[in-house]
Amino acid sequence: MTPGNGNNAPAQDHGLATFQIVHPGQPGDAPATRKNVPHTGGPLNPSVEALRAKFGAVIGRASVGWGETTVFVERASVAEVCAWLQSDPSQRYEYLSDVTAVEYRDRVRPIEVVWHLRSIRYRRFLRLKAELPKDGRTPLSVPSVWGVWKGADWLERECYDMFGITFEGHPDLRRILMWEQYKEGFPLRKDFPMRGRFSRSEQLKQALAANPEARYSMEELSIADAFEDLPSDMRKRLVGGGKTGE
């Protein structure tokens, strides 16, 4: 539709892109807070049945917890499934709210990549999961959904940064929280030491040597300024590689 001028009259076309306003729910469908939601069980999101009818064996098991539906999808088909959920008139999952991952302490249990999808039009929430076996042979990678939702950009970068999962087809997949030359691995993996693999002084030296000015504004680099404000003996100890108290 074309934006109005505030008086319900059509606006003149000045070459501006048209857009569509998405209203939550359907006409006459008033929002309601669900009560006494069971921990497990309950009706599946109707999108699961539609997915199975469309994609067959690509769609795996599904469950409901606290009223939210989780469905497993084959790794290679994630982008195709998401594109259909976003564009099909019967689904319309317009909003990707999160991309993350879960690694369990069980060494055999696969890593799960997780996508949280919301359909504003139909007031639906759907959690997709894809499993990545930790067998040393299966790559820790899934297709990027950046082509479906541009909001996946930073979400996928964070997941890559923290878990080491590669999103195939992402246009700019690099670290977003840790500096690009960070050598300690992926901080949210279960095999990552709580205090890191290097001493705090070594971590600081690497951070300051990473030339962060090339990527971030000076306003965001207050840590570098803070280092200059430290007492001279502390700065000398840090630069020299000495261990600091925890």
pLDDT in tens, 72-101: 999 999 999 999 999 999 999 999 999 999
- The residues, ordered by sequence, that sit 6+ positions from 158 with a Cβ below 8 Å of its Cβ are 99, 100, 176, 177
Question: Confidence band (pLDDT; 50, 70, 90) for 11?
Answer: very low
Is 211's pLDDT higher than 80? no
Tell me what the pLDDT averaged over the chain comes to: 84
pLDDT at residue 95 in the model? 97
Out of 53-62, 111-120, 212-221, which region has the weakest mean confidence (pLDDT)? Answer: 212-221
pLDDT at residue 26 in the model? 67
pLDDT at residue 242 in the model? 47
192: burial class by Cβ within 10 Å (0-12, 13-18, 19+)?
middle
Determine the average pLDDT of the residues in 24-42: 78
Is 7's pLDDT higher than 90? no
pLDDT at residue 192 in the model? 85
CATH code reported for the domain at 46-176 = 3.30.460.80
Output the 3-class SS for 19-67.
CCCCCCCCCCCCCCCCCCCCCECCCCCHHHHHHHHHHHHHEEEEEEECC
Determine the average pLDDT of the residues in 39-68: 96
Is 225's pLDDT higher than 70? no
Residue type, position 120, single letter: I
pLDDT at residue 16 in the model? 52
Distance CA 46, CA 71 (A): 11
Residue of 113, 109, 140, 138 lying closest to 128 (CA atoms): 113
Distance CA 244, CA 227 (A): 14
pLDDT 10s digits, 92-127 = 999 999 999 999 999 899 999 999 999 999 999 999
For residues 183 and 188, the model is more confident at 188
165: burial class by Cβ within 10 Å (0-12, 13-18, 19+)?
buried
Residue 70, φ and ψ in degrees, nearest 5: -115, 135
pLDDT at residue 15 in the model? 54
- Angle at the Cα of 33 (from 31 to 39), degrees rounded to 5? 135
Is 221's pLDDT higher than 90? no
- The residues, ordered by sequence, that sit 6+ positions from 102 with a Cβ below 8 Å of its Cβ are 111, 112, 114
Q: Where are the domains of the chain?
A: 46-176, 198-246
Is 218's pLDDT higher than 60? no
pLDDT 10s digits, 127-168 = 999 999 999 888 999 999 999 999 999 999 999 999 999 999
User: Which residue is associated with the tokens 């976003």?
Assistant: 86
Is 234's pLDDT higher than 70? yes
